Amino acid sequence: MSLVSIAWLGQMGLRIRMGRTTILVDYFASNCPGRTTNAPVPAGEVKDIDGFVGTHDHLDHIDRGAWRIWASNCPKARFVFPSIHRQSILGDGIPEEQLLPIDAGQCVQIGDITIHAIPAAHEFLSPDGEGRYPCLQYIIEGSGKRIYHAGDTLRYEGMLPLLQAFGPIDAALLPINGRDGARYRRDCIGNMTFQEAVDLAGELRAGLVIPGHWDMFADNPGNPRAFADYLDAKYGVTVACRIPVLMEEIAL
């Protein structure tokens, strides 16, 4: 069995196993109005996880109700999130010794896994007065592999060189749901279009690219087949694409 594997958990949720360490990134396990797909593993059944990682403080990325359950069920687990949210996460009752807040340009370690942070623009970068970003993207390294989790972001000037500085990417999960005026007017801020995500994938030359953020809410959809078709048309065999299936284990 590979030392490194990933499994898609819906939306931008990802389970990553590297060596002896398992983390969940942006796993949304709670029920909520408008949700069209069920969580593949109910929050109360999540066990034996070493780290829970959130890219930003939206329910489908930092699931606060589930985080409280996981802090109890996995008392040795660490919680990684943008440091700007530290006080509110503490206010949820998660013990301080379990917290690993992070800022852009920093990295943290959980077992065999190292997590690096860069800014995300969802739809804006929006740093506070201390230069802390509310939304982050992560480069996750371990066992000789490197995974890029884009969180929710647009592509912004200077982002590609930040990513390329880490070296070759073995797998990338990119949001493809895009953005428009109707969503913005109801405070549903956006991400890359599938075309923008294709160009980022093509320029990164990731070993495997997975489209995300398309399945969970009818009023904020994406089209993974359009993403895959455009990627094939524009970059061909140079970039592999996989439309994910829930909980399917992908060895890297």
Q: What is the CATH number of the domain that holds 111?
A: 3.60.15.10
Mean pLDDT (10-residue bins), the chain, 252 residues: 88 98 98 91 97 97 98 98 97 96 98 98 96 98 98 98 98 97 93 98 96 94 97 94 97 96
Residue with tokens 């078709």: 229
CB 252, CB 6: distance < 8 Å: yes
Residue with tokens 């990553």: 16
Tokens of 33: 């109005």
Angle, nearest 10°, between helix axes 224-235 and 194-204? 40
Tokens of 92: 């949820």
Q: What pTM value is reported for the model?
A: 0.97
Q: Range of 223's domain?
A: 4-251
CB 142, CB 108: distance < 8 Å: no
Residue with tokens 């439309």: 243
Sign of CA dihedral 12, 17, 18, 24: positive
**CA max distance for the chain:** 49
CA dihedral 126, 118, 159, 175 (to 10 degrees): -80
pLDDT at site 33: 86
Q: How many domains does the chain have?
A: 1
